[in-house]
Amino acid sequence: MPPAARQNRDPLGWCLLVVVAFQALVLWRIAIPSRYYFDEVHYVPAALKLLELIPANREHPLFGKEVIAGLIHLLGDRPLAWRLGPALFGGLGLLAFARLVWHVTQRRRATIAATVLLATNFMWFIQSRIAMLDMIAAGLCMVGLWQFAAALRARRTGAARLRLIASGLALGLSLGAKWSGAPALMMPGLVFLALRVHETGPLRIGRKGAGPVKGVTLVEAALWLGLFPLAVYWATYLPAMFYPHHAVAPLGVIEQHELMVRLQDSVKKPHPYRTFWYQWVVDWRGIWYLFENVDGAQRGVVMLGNPVSMLAGLPALAWGLWAALCRRRWDVLFFAVLYALCLVMWIVNGKPVQFYYHYLLPGAFLMASLALALDALWDRRDRWRAAATGTMALSVAMFALFYPIISAWPLPFKSAYNFWMWLPSWR
């Protein structure tokens, strides 16, 4: 096949290989440590109480805890059950991210590179192995965006409509797991509206037969991408409506959310791992999820970003803005906007105490921007092509190098962690 044809072939097979390898690595030894670590002390007990319809951890929505509770009900109260939900949503989210990049860009190399970069950016792997809400929310967010992008590529109206319905379902469940992805969840509706205005102009926006999905009107799109996700989100609170005490009223949405916001804003006590958005961006300060002798060995899990890919992504963002303005690369702009929206939410957020894991979604979209920048370098015929390949190789090598300290691998002695602590701020 000619190079252009090979470049435009769907890389689903290669992406599936990356996802399967990632999922296997996530599930390997996932029951270690065999007790709660870091924020599992909040979410697993809350899930256990949810099985008994006892209110707990009321500052967060319910769906993530419902997933953990359901697996505990099926598999018993043990580490595998606590962590299996986030692990599976981590793999699903990685696949959804790969399909999202493909449907948005139609670039084979960029899609494969983005999948590898996210699988090895440390954050996606670490959050897939801990019983927290973030990966359930992030994985479903990626599914919602993937289904929307696939709807825009669908050739038949019926198939596109089913994709939009699936997108709305995933978006609602993502919001029902945690609010972190709220800005990204607004993107499908905004993109649909922007494409519609681009085709028809603002004065003829309701014109019959207009795109971006033929046969789907603006009103119907508002239903599947707006009202339907909100209805799904509301449905995730059904168990709370049956609490014997402090039950959530079916129509008490405003009061419930006022309570949740008050509870989140009430955490003002200084925390040793509190960080700010500009520290996340430069990978300055991580979080020690675990560091102690447990299960017969000294083990550690440090929540940190891959220092190669997370830092290389910053100039890639700058290139993306240039490419969008000068080359009209709307695919690059799409991921840059997602990155910016998900980060700005935490910049303007009044939440007093924030942590590096809040960078999970911005860091994922950063990997897409980096992959597109590397793909542009691979198109060149000079030394920059080698630089792109070297960046990919270094990112994967860095993941392998840090694997012991991000996966609770047994350390030979207590101070062995110093090998990975390259910056004083990482300690």
Tell me the pLDDT of the chain averaged across its residues. 91
Distance between CA atoms of residues 307 and 364, nearest Å: 14
Reference 402, options 304, 263, 332; nearest CA is: 304
pLDDT computed for residue 160 by the predictor: 92
Distance between CA atoms of residues 125 and 120, nearest Å: 7
268 contacts 353 by C-beta, under 8 angstroms: yes
Residue with structure tokens 């920048």? 373
373 contacts 339 by C-beta, under 8 angstroms: no
Q: What are residue 290's DSSP bridge partners?
A: 301
Task: Report how far Cα 3 is from the mean position of its chain's Cα atoms.
Answer: 32
Most confident of 74-88, 324-338, 349-363: 74-88
Q: What is the DSSP string of 356-407?
A: GGGGHHHHHHHHHHHHHHHHHHHTSSSHHHHHHHHHHHHHHHHHHHHHHHHT
- Amino acid in the structure at residue 50: L
Distance between CA atoms of residues 370 and 278, nearest Å: 19
* CB atoms closer than 10 angstroms to residue 392: 21
Tell the burial category of 405 from Cβ atoms under 10 Å away from its Cβ (0-12, 13-18, 19+). Answer: buried
Residue with structure tokens 């670590």? 37
pLDDT computed for residue 203 by the predictor: 62
378 contacts 109 by C-beta, under 8 angstroms: yes
Q: What is the pTM (predicted TM-score) of this model?
A: 0.94
Exposure letters 288-323 (e unless 16+ CB within 10 A, then b): bbbbeebeeebbbbbbbbbbbbbbbbeebbebbeeb
Instruction: Give the pLDDT band of residue 47 (cuts 50, 70, 90).
Output: very high
- pLDDT tens-digit readout, 161-205: 999 999 999 999 999 999 988 998 899 999 988 888 877 777 677
- pLDDT tens-digit readout, 108-127: 999 999 999 999 999 999 99
115 contacts 15 by C-beta, under 8 angstroms: yes
Tell the burial category of 270 from Cβ atoms under 10 Å away from its Cβ (0-12, 13-18, 19+). Answer: exposed
Residue 416 DSSP label: G
pLDDT computed for residue 206 by the predictor: 67
* CB atoms closer than 10 angstroms to residue 118: 29
- What is the rounded average pLDDT of the residues 360-387? 92
Instruction: Give the pLDDT band of residue 5 (cuts 50, 70, 90).
Output: very low
Tokens of 215: 């046969």
Instruction: Give the pLDDT band of residue 1 (cuts 50, 70, 90).
Output: very low
- pLDDT tens-digit readout, 82-111: 999 999 999 999 999 999 999 999 999 999
Q: Where are the beta strands (DSSP E) in 262-312?
A: 287-294, 297-303
* Alpha carbon separation from 392 to 65, 308, 313 (Å, rounded): 36, 9, 12
